[in-house]
Structure 1
Amino acid sequence: GMRLFLLLTLLGGAGILNLGVDSDVRVALSNLHGIFNPVRSNVEVRLGEHNIWEHEGTEQYIMSAKFIRHPDYNSRTQDSDIMLIKLSRPATLNSFVRPAALPTKCANDGTMCKISGWGSLRASNDGSRYPDKLQCLDAPLLSDDTCFNAYPFQITENMICAGYLEGGKDSCQGDSGGPMMCDGQLQGVVSWGHGCALRKKPGVYTKVCNYISWIKNTMASG
C-alpha cells in the first residue's frame, strides 16, 4: 500500500501531518505551512505507520535534525510551499519503509494519481473525524486552465490541481504535506484547497517536478 511512502509527525499532539519520503532516506519532503512551527525545531518523524493508534511493529521513530525550507517560499501566496526535513539518523529500509521516487519529468493532465494521508474525512464545520488507518484516494491531475478557473489569480506555475470538479472526493484537513504519487513518482505534496471535497474546488498541490534540482542540491550539501 501507499504507507510505504508516508511519514507521520505529531506537532505537540495537535496536528496530524504526513510527508513523502525522498530518495535519500534521511530526508523527508513536506510543505511549509503544514509543519513549520518556529517554536519547535525538532519533531518526531514516524515511518512505517499505518494505524496511528496501534503499535503494529512496523514503525520507526526518528527525530528530525534540520528543517530546510525553500528560499522562495511566500507565505501570502503559498508559492514554493516545500521543505526538506533531514532526519537525525538514517531510516532502515524494508518492505514497510521505502523511498519514494522523485519525478523524472512533470506528469501530464489527466494522469491518475494516488493521494494519501490521515486527514479528516469530513470538513471541520461538520465535526472533524480523523481515521485510524491510512486513507487513499485516486484522483486525476487537472489542466492548468482548469486549476486557474477554480482559483482565479491564486495559482502559480509551481502548483498543480488534482481532484474531481463534481466534488465529493478530495484530500482534506490534516492532510497538509501528504504525498501525491503518479506512476510511482512523487509529483505533488498537498498544499492548500478550499475545505474538503467541495464542488469545483479541487485540491492544490506543490508541483514537485519544478524542484528536482533544488531537492537534489540541498540533499547533496546536507
Structure 2
Amino acid sequence: MRWPITEDLYQIEGQVIRAVHRRAKYLLLETDIGTAIVHLGMSGSLRVLPAGIPPEKHDHVDLCLASGEVLRYNDPRRFGAWLWQPQNCEHSVLSKLGPEPFSDAFNAAYLQEKAQGKRTAIKTFIMDNHVVVGVGNIYANESLFAAGIHPKREAGKIAPQRLALLVDEIKAVLAFAIEQGGTTLKDFKNADGKPGYFAQELQVYGKAGQPCPRCDKPLSEAKIGQRASVYCSACQK
C-alpha cells in the first residue's frame, strides 16, 4: 500500500467502532481511544464478508469483527492506506484540508477570498485539497466546462460572479456523479461489484478531438499541472 501499516493501528483491537465518518477521501472509523483512517486510493474498496473466506490477490487488510464477520480491504492499485489517529489529536493528513464541497463553508465568498491574487491556473487551484476537497481531475474538467471557464485562466483574474457560478457547478457535477455511482476506472467496482455510470455522462473528459457538446468545435487537450485537461477553446474563456 502507499504507506506500511504501523504498530499503532493495532490499538483498534478490542475497541468498539462508535461511528463512521468521511473527510475528503478518508474514511474515519471512530473508537473511544482513537480513529482508524482509511484511504481507498484509486481503486480500493471495503466489503463485509463471512469469516473463513480466504483473501484474494488484491486483499490487503482484514479487520475481524465481533460478529464473526470480516471487514476486508481490497486495493488492486495499492495506492490506499490505513493510518491511526489517537483521540484528541488530528493526523497530519487531515489537518490542512479545505472544506467539503457540499458544505456551507464552500461558497462564492470563500472561493473569491482564496483566489485573490493567485496566479495559479484555475484547474490546478480547484484540485488543491487545501482549497477544497473532492475535486479530482475528471470533475475539475467537467465543472470548468459547465461554468464556461478556461482551465488555464489564472484563479485571481476570474470575476467574482464567474467564481460563484463555478462553485455551483462543482456542487452540481459532484452531486450528479454520486447519483450515477461515480466514474469507474477499468479496475474499479463498488462494494456490490457494480461500476459507476458517470462516464456515460461526461461532457469533455477523455474526449479530446471530439465535437464540443455545445458548439461542435473539436475539443482541445493540454497538460495543466501534469494532468490531462480537455476543454473547448470557444466555449471556455
Query: TM bucket by the smaller chain?
Result: under 0.3
Greater Rg by CA: 2
| Structure (1 or 2) with the greater strand fraction | 1
Bigger proportion of residues as helix: 2
What TM-score results when the alignment is normalised by the length of structure 2?
A: 0.26
Q: TM-score, normalised by structure 1?
A: 0.28
